[in-house]
Amino acid sequence: MKRHLRLAAVFVLYAVVGVWGLLFSSIPEARAEYGDIVMNNYAEKSGMRPVVFPHWFHRMRFACKVCHADLGFKFKAGGNEVNMAKIIDGEFCGACHNGEIAWPVENCNMCHSGKPGTVTQVHGANGQKIIAAPVQGTAGTAK
């Protein structure tokens, strides 16, 4: 009898741990592709979904230098004040998404594909080691 109680207790414990685990494994950060960047300084405030920039997709086609030297993207998620006016003037994303090197800006949702509420940040791995601590340090501390 006692053993059954204990077993039941262990079972309940497992159930609780399980639900807890499920809750936390649904934290988006842990599942996003490594290096994906969410850009949401202005988009959602203006009624558009956040922008998701996939590094893996672009680095297969371009060296880092193309964007981070030639086009002037600083190494900081959200640190470049990118907006649509600059893009259609051929700056930042607009240097390629102009219908020549890549498809043009009319395809709003290809870029504005983010889940509402996702914040500006890089989805890397330094933050998902042991405890989900905000190691990223990207928020605030502008240099």
Partner 1 sequence: MIKNIVKSVIATSLFGAIVVSTATTVSAAPAPAAAQPAAAQPAPVTFNRLLKKASPTNLPPAEDGIHDPTVDSAQMLQPPLQGMNGLTRSNFGNNVNWVNSLQTKKVIPRWDRADPNAESLVMDVNIVRTPRGSMPDVVFPHKAHTEWLECSNCHPAIFVPQKGANQISMAAILLGQKCGVCHGKVAFPVSECKLCHSQKRAAAAP
Partner interacting with residue 21 (select from ligand HEC, partner 1, none; CB below 5-8 Å by kind)? partner 1
Report the distance separating Cα 64 and Cα 56, nearest Å.
11
Instruction: Tell me if 51 sits within 8 A of 61, measured CB to CB.
Output: no
Binding characters for ligand HEC, 102-141, by CB under 6 A (x = yes): xx-xxxx-xxx---------x---------------x---
Report the distance separating Cα 12 and Cα 102, nearest Å.
54
**Partners of 101 in beta bridges:** none
Report the distance separating Cα 5 and Cα 2, nearest Å.
5
Give the Å distances, CA to CA, from 105 to 42, 78, 115: 17, 20, 20
The region of 4-12, 17-25, 26-34, 57-65 touching ligand HEC under the rule CB under 6 A is 57-65
Instruction: Tell me if 26 sits within 8 A of 132, measured CB to CB.
Output: no
Binding site for ligand HEC (CB under 6 A): 37, 39-43, 46, 48, 51, 53-55, 57-59, 61-62, 64, 66-68, 71, 73, 75-80, 82-85, 87, 92-93, 95-97, 101-103, 105-108, 110-112, 122, 138
Binding site for partner 1 (CB under 8 A): 3, 6-7, 10, 13, 21, 24-36, 38, 49, 52, 54-57, 59-66, 68-71, 75, 95-96, 100-101, 107, 109-110, 112-116, 118, 122-126, 128-132, 135-138
